[in-house]
Structure 1
Amino acid sequence: MTVGKNKNLMKGSKKGAKKKVAPAMFNIRNIGERVVTRTQGTQIASDGLKGHVLEVSLADLQNDKVAFRKFKPIITEDVQGTNCLTNLHGMDLICDKMCSVVKKWQTMIEAHVGVKTTDGYLLRLFCQQQGCQIRKKMMEIMTREVQTNDLKEVVNKLILDSLEKACQSIYPPHDVFGRKVELVKEPRFELGKLMELHEGSSSEKATGDKTADGYEPLVQESV
C-alpha cells in the first residue's frame, strides 16, 4: 500500500538537524542547530555543513549580558554524528559599542597588524583608541601578544580583555578596544588539532562556569 493512499502511514522526512558545538574555551557549547538534507545516494549530508559560517554574540557564548563582542563567523570544520565541530573565524565589536566611543573633540586612532600564531593561523588585528596615542606602540603590543601564543590562547586573551589592558600602558589610557580580528589564512585542516579546541575544561575562562548543555566528548571513529 502506498503512503499517499493511506493516511496512517507517514512519509519519511528528508531533513535532519545537526547541533552546532562551540570550542571548549567558551562556557556555552550548544549554539544552535542546522537543518540539512539527509544523505541520499552520492549527496552526503556533512558536505552541506562543512564551511557553513554563523555569527554568535560573546554574551551568549559566555552567559554574560555586558559582553560587547561578537565572534563572526564561527565556521563548521567537521561533522561527527549529530554534532558539528566549529572553529573560530573572526571577531568584531557590536555596532552599539562602536557608536558609543565616537565623541566630540576626540581623535580616534586605529592600528592594524597581520601576525601569525604559533600553530600557523595568520590573523589581522584591528585596535582603536581615542586620544593622542602612538600607533606604532599599539602595533608592537598586538604583535607581541599574538606571536607567542596559539589560536586558543589568543581567543582567551580577547575574552579576558588582556590585549586591551596591555595597550592601556600607553599614556593617556582611554577607551582601548580590540575592534576586529580577521582570519587571513589558516593551516591545513587536521582533526587532531580541532579536537584539542573541543577538549579541556573552562577553568581558563573569565567566569569560571562549568560547561553547559550537557555536552559529552565525541568518540572518534579512527585514530
Structure 2
Amino acid sequence: MTQGKNKKLGKKKGQKKTIDPLARKEWFELTAPVPFSAGGFGYTCINKSAGTVVATEAIKGRVVEASLADLQGQSDQMAWRKVKLVIDDVEGTRCRTSFYGLDSTKDKIFGMIKKRQTLIETQVEARSSDGYILRIFMIAFTKSIKNQQRKTTYAQRSQIKDIRKKIVEIVLKEVSKKSITQLLNFFNQEALSKEILKATRAIFPLQNITLRKVKLVKRPKVDAQKLREFYDDSQRSKGTVRRHGQAEDQSALNLIKQGQIEKEQTQQESE
C-alpha cells in the first residue's frame, strides 16, 4: 500500500520521555544502635516528599537487614548471622534504628546437618527485663564421644525431652534478667550456647548449639529517651568502626551529575 492512500503510514509516534526513577528518590543513612560498634552501615532510599506524604515519616517502620560482621566492623567473623533493624526515628538524613530480630543463613544451618546424629530444635517465648517479648529458636546436634563403637549418635526420646527442658530453663532465666541491649551483646558472644552445653553434658553430649533465630513478638513503645540510650557511644562495644564512605559518596555524586549533563546535551542536540 502506498503512503498516499494510508494516512497512518509514515507518521511518527510520540516517544515517551524516559525519566530516571532514581531522580525522584531521597537517600538516608542507616545507623546501628548499641552494642554494635559500626555507626553507619548502609543507605536506603525513598520517594521525595510530595503533597501530604512526607519522606521522613513514610520511612519510619521500614525493616532493614544487615550482616553482623558489617555491624561489628569485622570482615570474616559472624558473617552468617543476619540482624534485622527497624527505623524508629529520622534526624536530618540519618535514620536511627532499633532491634527487630535475628536470623541465620541457610548455608550455615545446612552445613551443620549430617547423617547419623539427632537434630534437636527448641523454641522459647521469653520476656526481657525492659518489656521486650522474644521468641527464641535454638538448634543443637548430638555428638559422638571418643572410642565410641557405634556409628550412630541417636538420642532417645526421653533424653531429647530432658535436653529441651534444660534449654527452656536456661533461656528463660537469662532473658528475664537482661535488657534488650544486654541481650544483644549476650547473643553476639554466643554465651547462651556455652551455658546450654555445660548444662546438658550429663544428659547427652551435644555440638553445634546455635541460636538459629530470634523473632520480636512485642516491644514497648520506643520514645526519645529510649533512643538516646540505644545511641549512647560510651556503651558501644569496642571494635573497628566503619567509616561512613564519604569519598565513595562524592564520587557517586560526580557520576550522577556527569550523567545528568550528558542527558541534557543529548536532549538539546535532538531538539
| TM-score bracket relative to the smaller structure | 0.7 to 0.9
Q: Is the 8 A contact 1:74 1:89 kept in 2?
A: yes
Counterpart AA for 2:216: L
Q: Any gaps of 5 or more consecutive residues in structure 2? A: 1-22, 143-154, 246-271
**Distance in 1 between residues matched to 2:41 and 2:118, nearest whole Å:** 38
- Larger fraction in strand: 1
**Distance in 1 between residues matched to 2:30 and 2:233, nearest whole Å:** 18
Q: Is the 8 A contact 1:38 1:44 kept in 2?
A: yes
Q: Any gaps of 5 or more consecutive residues in structure 1? A: 1-12, 216-223
The answer to whether 1:212 aligns with 2:249 is no
What do residues 124-167 of structure 1 show as CA deviations (whole Å, max 9, x unaligned)? 00111112451100111111111100100110011111111111
Larger Rg: 2
Structure 1 residue ranges (4+ consecutive) displaced by more than 4 angstroms after TM superposition? none
Query: Which residue pairs with 1:19 in the alignment?
Result: 29
3-state SS of the aligned residue for 1:106? coil
What's the CA shift for 1:28? Answer: 1.6
What's the CA shift for 1:26? Answer: 1.0
What's the CA shift for 1:190? Answer: 1.2
Query: Which residue pairs with 1:162 in the alignment?
Result: 191
Query: Which residue pairs with 2:117 in the alignment?
Result: 106
Query: Which residue pairs with 1:4 in the alignment?
Result: none
Query: Which residue pairs with 2:231 in the alignment?
Result: 198
Counterpart AA for 1:182: K
What's the CA shift for 1:96? Answer: 1.0
What are the within-5 Å matches in structure 2 for residues 124-163 of structure 1? 124-131=135-142, 132=155, 133=160, 134-163=163-192
Query: Which residue pairs with 2:151 in the alignment?
Result: none
What are the within-5 Å matches in structure 2 for residues 174-185 of structure 1? 174-185=207-218
Counterpart among 21, 32, 48 of residue 38 in structure 1:
48
Q: Is the 8 A contact 2:41 2:242 kept in 1?
A: no
Counterpart AA for 1:69: R
**Distance in 2 between residues matched to 1:39 and 1:128, nearest whole Å:** 45
Residues paired across the two proteins, number = 199
3-state SS of the aligned residue for 2:129? coil
3-state SS of the aligned residue for 1:201? helix
What's the CA shift for 1:50? Answer: 0.5
What CA RMSD, in Å, does the superposition of the two structures yield over aligned residues?
Answer: 1.8
**Distance in 2 between residues matched to 1:147 and 1:200, nearest whole Å:** 25
Using structure 1 for the length normalisation, give the TM-score. 0.83
What do residues 101-130 of structure 1 show as CA deviations (whole Å, max 9, x unaligned)? 101010111111101111111000011111
What do residues 172-218 of structure 1 show as CA deviations (whole Å, max 9, x unaligned)? 13111111100000112312112211113366x3xx31543269xxx
What do residues 48-79 of structure 1 show as CA deviations (whole Å, max 9, x unaligned)? 210111111112112141312111x2110111
Query: Which residue pairs with 1:8 in the alignment?
Result: none
Query: Which residue pairs with 1:3 in the alignment?
Result: none
Q: Is the 8 A contact 1:20 1:32 kept in 2?
A: yes
Counterpart AA for 1:161: E
**Distance in 1 between residues matched to 2:96 and 2:108, nearest whole Å:** 30
Query: Which residue pairs with 2:82 in the alignment?
Result: 70
- Larger fraction in helix: 2
Q: Is the 8 A contact 2:34 2:181 kept in 1?
A: no
3-state SS of the aligned residue for 1:65? coil
